[in-house]
Amino acid sequence: MASFAQRDAAARNVLVDAVGDRPVRRVLDVGCGAGQDLLPFLDETMALCVGIDVASGLGQIEGGEPLSQRRARFVRATGERMPFANDSFDVVICRVALPYMDNKKTIAEVGRILKPGGVFLLKTHRFRFYLEMIWSRSKTLNPKLIAYPLICLAAGLWHELTGRQLQRGFWHGKEIFQTRRFLEREFRRQGLSIKKLLPDSNSLAQSQFVEKSLNA
């Protein structure tokens, strides 16, 4: 049986495998954390890899060398306001970070900085993810643990029904789910389109290969 580390590495390799033989010179990871999803691009391509996040510890994977010592650069920035020029990246990665951001603004920024013909590798939680979280946490009988996924579901449903994302006060930083209908609508506005689901998609999360039109 594969270890957690092996499964984690295999999941990351899905990203570089999806890009295939396309020329990749610049890769951006939005909401990068330690930068682990950039590893396959550092290992298997000659691309300059850039990660942005608001968290601390950027580029420092536990037990490994700082990624900044390789072809990686890290910037404190948000997905809603990226400090990069238009059409400047061949590949943009965003793995379960969009739910915490202003969805429309972040997708618009991805559309702006991604080169025509470029690839957006997006993974988000499905509605069912939060239902499963409620079920598993209900066994703890801890109201605080159960409340969080309920709040996320409520915020996601409000967003889906009204088109408005709750972000102020109590709702600040609360994650929401994204439906395919919402993503397709916002992608069209930015010249993006979903081409396929990646192998690491499942009933709890959708992992999508999104491409920017050559004419966008």
Tens of pLDDT along the chain (216 residues) come to: 444 344 556 667 899 999 999 999 999 999 999 999 999 999 999 999 999 999 888 888 766 667 877 889 999 999 999 999 999 999 999 999 999 999 999 999 999 999 999 999 999 999 999 999 999 999 988 999 999 999 999 999 999 999 999 988 888 888 999 999 999 999 999 999 999 999 999 999 999 999 999 987
Question: What angle in degrees, to the nearest 10, is found between the helix axes of 180-189 and 103-113?
Answer: 40
Q: Give the model's pLDDT for residue 72.
A: 93
Torsion of CA 161, 167, 173, 174, to 10 degrees: -30
- Tell me, yes or no, if the pTM score tops 0.75: yes
- Cα torsion 52, 53, 58, 63: sign: negative
Give me the pLDDT at residue 52, please.
97
Radius of gyration (C-alpha) of the chain in whole angstroms: 17
- Beta bridge pairs of residue 53: 76
Cβ atoms 31, 107 nearer than 8 A:
no
Residue 180 identity (one-letter amino acid): R
Crossing angle (nearest 10°) for helices 127-138 and 143-162: 160
Residue 78's alpha-carbon distances to 8, 33, 53, 70, 82, in angstroms, are 25, 12, 6, 23, 6
Instruction: Quote the DSSP letter at residue 44.
Output: H
What is residue 60's predicted lDDT score, i.e. its pLDDT?
81
Q: What is the largest CA-CA distance in the chain?
A: 54
Separation between Cα atoms, residue 176 and residue 102, nearest integer Å: 10
Sequence-distant (6+) residues with CB within 8 A of 17 are: none
CATH topology of domain 4-125+178-212: Rossmann fold (3.40.50)
Question: Among residues 128, 112, 123, which one has the least CA distance to residue 12?
Answer: 123
| DSSP conformation letters of 142-160 | -HHHHHHHHHHHHHHHHHH
* Residue appearing with tokens 């397709």: 184
Three-state DSSP class for residue 113 = helix
Q: Where are the domains of the chain?
A: 4-125+178-212, 127-176
